[in-house]
Structure 1
């Protein structure tokens, strides 16, 4: 078995905190985010955008940016809303969610823009 890396995430150190699977990877570039939106739309999931201040990211409540985009299939419209949320809240984490109607759950949830950590 290979050596496992310990990510030293601590509540006392906001800069070290990890959230969701993709946070262990480098920040997503625009083309990476577009691929994720394309995936959500291809799966038939409803995209939604949420945001939160970095110091509160461990809370279970994130602010919803407008309503979920029910039935939206235009990738550019979803990306425009994500960018608008990020522009309006430049210091906040912004995440993309894909709601799966069939399972009535989140099919995907990932932070696409990282806010400034303390």
Structure 2
């Protein structure tokens, strides 16, 4: 059996905090992000983008970027909205959500941009 790896996370060190799905892995590159967006669209889920400043990233409230993209199936358009949100909020963390309208819950959510933490 493979031993469990410890991911030290401290409130005193904002750079050590984990922020949900995939946050224990290296950041997604452009191709990996495209595949995740295609997965959301392929499942028929509604994509949405949220953002928050790093100081409040561990809280439950995040700002929604525009409205959820109901019925959107164009991967490039969704990626364009992620880039627009990043450009408008350069110091914020961004999270992509896929809402499952059948289960009435989030099907997935992942950090797609992690802003640098200023000490």
TM-score over 0.5 for the pair: yes
TM-score (ref. length: structure 2): 0.96
Q: How does 1:8-27 map to 2 (within 5 A)?
A: 8-27=8-27
Contact 2:20 2:111 survives alignment (8 Å): yes
Q: How many residues end up aligned between the 2 structures? A: 118
Q: Which runs of 5+ in 2 are unaligned?
A: none
Q: How does 1:32-111 map to 2 (within 5 A)?
A: 32-111=32-111
For 1:92 and 1:30, how far apart are their aligned partners in 2? 19
Higher share in helix? 1
Contact 2:48 2:69 survives alignment (8 Å): yes
TM-score (ref. length: structure 1): 0.97
Once the two structures are TM-superposed, the CA of residue 85 in structure 1 deviates from its matched residue by 0.2
Query: C-alpha root-mean-square deviation of aligned residues, in Å?
Result: 0.8
Q: What SS does the aligned partner of 1:12 have?
A: coil
For 1:2 and 1:79, how far apart are their aligned partners in 2? 36
In the TM superposition, structure 1's runs of 4+ consecutive aligned residues that sit over 4 Å from their partners are: none
Q: What SS does the aligned partner of 1:41 have?
A: helix
Q: Which runs of 5+ in 1 are unaligned?
A: none
Once the two structures are TM-superposed, the CA of residue 21 in structure 1 deviates from its matched residue by 2.5
Once the two structures are TM-superposed, the CA of residue 104 in structure 1 deviates from its matched residue by 0.4
